[in-house]
Structures are given as structure tokens and as C-alpha cells.
Amino acid sequence: MATYKVKKSWLYVSAKRNNIPMCKIAGKNYYSRKHMDALFGVSAEIEALTEWLTTDEAESLYSTTKESLRTQAYRRHIPTKREYGKTYYSKKYLDDIFRPDLKASDAYYTTAEAAEKYGMTKSNICVIVKTNNLTKVKVGVQNLIVKEDLDRIMASRLA
């Protein structure tokens, strides 16, 4: 229980369900370490990670939902761990996906910001970006557009 940070009942049920070898010595259950490591997916990579976020912390930090976090973790193989019934996500891997440094940067517009600034719809901005081959960066579900490039194109359109 201490090694894998799980509750007694969950450990017992999981071990029984997965036919993990067990022996009883002096009234205590001992499970095969090799089989338990395989069940819990313990790897050196996960042990090397130091910063972990709970679901609630990740939701507030990256302005996302629980469902989105689970989907990203599954699709992009983000290391996760469960301890005492709580799920933790690797901060390093989430930072690589949601890029808070780019979102906070003044060098980029979101599609919504650009649409508001130029009085257009988001669809119009997307068409302009595509037809002019402007650089955009995908961050989560948002596209970030380089301000300098978009401002240059919009100035030439208005002139």
C-alpha cells in the first residue's frame, strides 16, 4: 500500500482480479513485486518526474476541463499517477502541450482576439491566415497567430 500509494481494499481487489501471486507470512499479505510493477506501470521515467499537478490544479492553471485533461493524457501519453484515489498529471508534459509561456506572450493573438481587434469573425481571420500562409502555433485547442505578421497583412488590406 505504501509503495504504490493505494488503499487496502483497492490493492486486494486489483491483486485478486489480475491473479498476482501472493503469500501470507505472519498474518501479512506479500505480493510479487514484478507483477505489481507491471500492474501499476511503475517506470523509471515516472520516478524521475518531480512536479505533479492534481486535476483541480491543472484545470485552473491551464483553463481546461477534467475531460480535456483525461483526453490529452490518453492521446499524448502524458505520465499520470494515482495516489490514494487522486490522479496526478506531469506538469512538464502539460506545459509542453498547453504552452502557458506562449499564451502569456504579447507576440501572439488568439483567433478571438484578432477577430475582436479587426471587427471580423473568427472564420474570416482563419481564412486570412490560411490564404497568406501566416505562421500559427497550435496550443491545446487554440491557434496563436504571430501579431507582427497579421498586423502587416491587415495594414496592407486596409491601404
Strand order in the sheet with 142-146: 108-110, 142-146, 136-139
Confidence (pLDDT) at 115 = 92
Residue 71 belongs to domain with CATH number: 1.10.10
* Contact between 98 and 59 (Cβ < 8 Å): no
Question: Is the C-alpha dihedral spanning 81, 87, 89, 90 positive or negative?
Answer: negative
Residue 126 belongs to domain with CATH number: 1.10.1660
Same domain, 38 and 57: no
Query: Quick one: pLDDT band at residue 44, thresholds 50, 70, 90?
Result: very low
Domain count, the chain: 3
Same domain, 89 and 127: no
The 10s digit of each residue's pLDDT in 130-158 is: 999 888 888 777 788 988 999 999 888 87
Same domain, 62 and 89: yes
Q: Give Cβ neighbours of residue 83 (< 8 Å, ≥ 6 apart).
A: 5, 6
* Contact between 40 and 4 (Cβ < 8 Å): yes
Same domain, 152 and 106: yes
The 10s digit of each residue's pLDDT in 46-71 is: 666 788 989 999 888 887 889 988 88
Same domain, 63 and 35: no
The answer to whether residue 43 scores a pLDDT higher than 60 is: no
Same domain, 109 and 149: yes
Q: Please state, in angstroms and rounded to a whole number, the distance separating the CA atoms of residues 21 and 16.
A: 9
More confident residue, 142 or 86: 86
Confidence (pLDDT) at 47 = 64
* Grid cell locating 31: 505480493
The 10s digit of each residue's pLDDT in 92-126 is: 888 888 877 777 778 888 888 899 999 999 999 99
Confidence (pLDDT) at 24 = 86
The answer to whether residue 159 scores a pLDDT higher than 80 is: no
In sequence order, which ranges of the chain are alpha helices (DSSP H)? 8-17, 33-40, 44-48, 55-62, 66-75, 91-98, 100-104, 111-118, 122-131, 147-158
Same domain, 121 and 139: yes
Confidence (pLDDT) at 100 = 75
- Which structural domain, as residue segments, surrounds residue 85? 50-98
